[in-house]
């Protein structure tokens, strides 16, 4: 898998972390270096671990679905992308109304899992396509960490930037759809249609 494709997947997956980081920054208003480290480390770590877990589970079922792997990868990416787009249009009032520090405790763990669950499906898709996972997982984790830092500080600097989070999630979902369509194209699905 090319770096551009991996980077596109990483950016798409980081949109949830970016959106949550913006909301967290808006809520905190003043963000310390410790809060920045905690949130970006956990979001990046979970984003890197979830594809590994998904890939592991995918390798255990690979021989059952190898003839349909590209379709399964497309469906998973389409569903994850659609979920990201749907979430972009939902109101997240409860995230904005709480004033506690989301960069520590159980809130941090829950947010880390919630923002990285999409990466589980991506890891499963990569295993079905026989893509090595370590390099993509590292890139996904780093990109998520960087986007978290950016989102946290953007949110802290200007509460009005919170309006960007739905746009970021829609873009992330569309990128996943494009990647899914590209997988079908690479497997010759569209040449059979034309």
What is the extent of the structural domain holding 160?
Answer: 3-185
114 domain-assigned: yes
Burial 103-124 (b: 16+ CB within 10 A, else e): beeeebeebbeebbebbbbbbb
193 domain-assigned: no
pLDDT at 106: 82
27 vs 116, residue with greater confidence:
116
pLDDT at 166: 66
192 domain-assigned: no
194 domain-assigned: no
DSSP letter for 90, please: S
- The dihedral built from the CA positions of residue 163, 165, 169 and 175, taken in this order, carries a sign that is positive
**Is residue 95 pLDDT above 50, yes or no?**
no
pLDDT at 168: 65
Rounded (10°) CA dihedral 40, 177, 191, 125: 50
- Phi, psi at residue 92, to the nearest 5°? -110, 55
Q: At what angle do helices 3-28 and 105-128 cross, to 10 degrees?
A: 170
Q: Which two tokens stand for residue 112?
A: 């880390």
Total number of domains in the chain: 1
Highest mean pLDDT among 15-29, 31-45, 159-173: 31-45
**Is residue 91 pLDDT above 80, yes or no?**
no
pLDDT at 84: 67
User: For 45-56, what is the HEC assignment?
Assistant: HHHHHHHHHHHH
77 domain-assigned: yes
Q: How far is the C-alpha of 6 from the C-alpha of 139, rounded, in Å? A: 7
Does pTM surpass 0.85? no
Q: How far is the C-alpha of 37 from the C-alpha of 76, rounded, in Å? A: 31
Beta-carbon contacts of 125 under 8 Å, excluding residues fewer than 6 positions away, are 54, 58, 72, 73, 76, 77, 183
91 domain-assigned: yes
121 domain-assigned: yes
pLDDT tens, 118-177? 888 889 888 888 889 999 999 999 999 999 999 988 877 765 445 555 666 677 667 778
CB 136 within 8 A of CB 2: no
149 domain-assigned: yes
Lowest mean pLDDT, pick from 2-16, 61-75, 126-140: 61-75
pLDDT at 70: 72
25 vs 38, residue with greater confidence:
38
**How much of the chain, in percent, has pLDDT values that exceed 90?**
24
């Amino acid at each position: 898998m090319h770096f551009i494709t991996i980077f596109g997947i990483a950016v798409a997956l980081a949109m949830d972390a970016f959106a949550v980081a913006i909301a967290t920054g808006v809520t905190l208003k003043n963000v310390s270096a410790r809060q920045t480290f905690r949130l970006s480390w956990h979001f990046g770590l979970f984003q890197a671990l979830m594809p590994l877990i998904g890939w592991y589970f995918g390798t255990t079922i690979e021989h059952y679905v190898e003839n349909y792997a590209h379709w399964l990868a497309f469906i998973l990416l389409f569903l994850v992308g659609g979920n990201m787009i749907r979430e972009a249009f939902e109101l997240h009032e409860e995230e904005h109304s709480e004033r506690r520090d989301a960069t520590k405790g159980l809130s941090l763990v829950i947010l880390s899992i919630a923002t990285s669950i999409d990466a589980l499906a991506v890891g499963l898709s990569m295993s079905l396509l026989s893509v090595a996972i370590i390099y993509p997982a590292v890139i996904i984790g780093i990109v998520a960490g960087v986007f978290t830092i950016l989102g946290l500080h953007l949110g802290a600097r200007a509460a009005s930037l919170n309006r960007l989070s739905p746009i970021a999630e829609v873009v992330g979902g569309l990128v996943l759809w494009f990647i899914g369509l590209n997988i079908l194209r690479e497997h010759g699905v569209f040449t059979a249609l034309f």
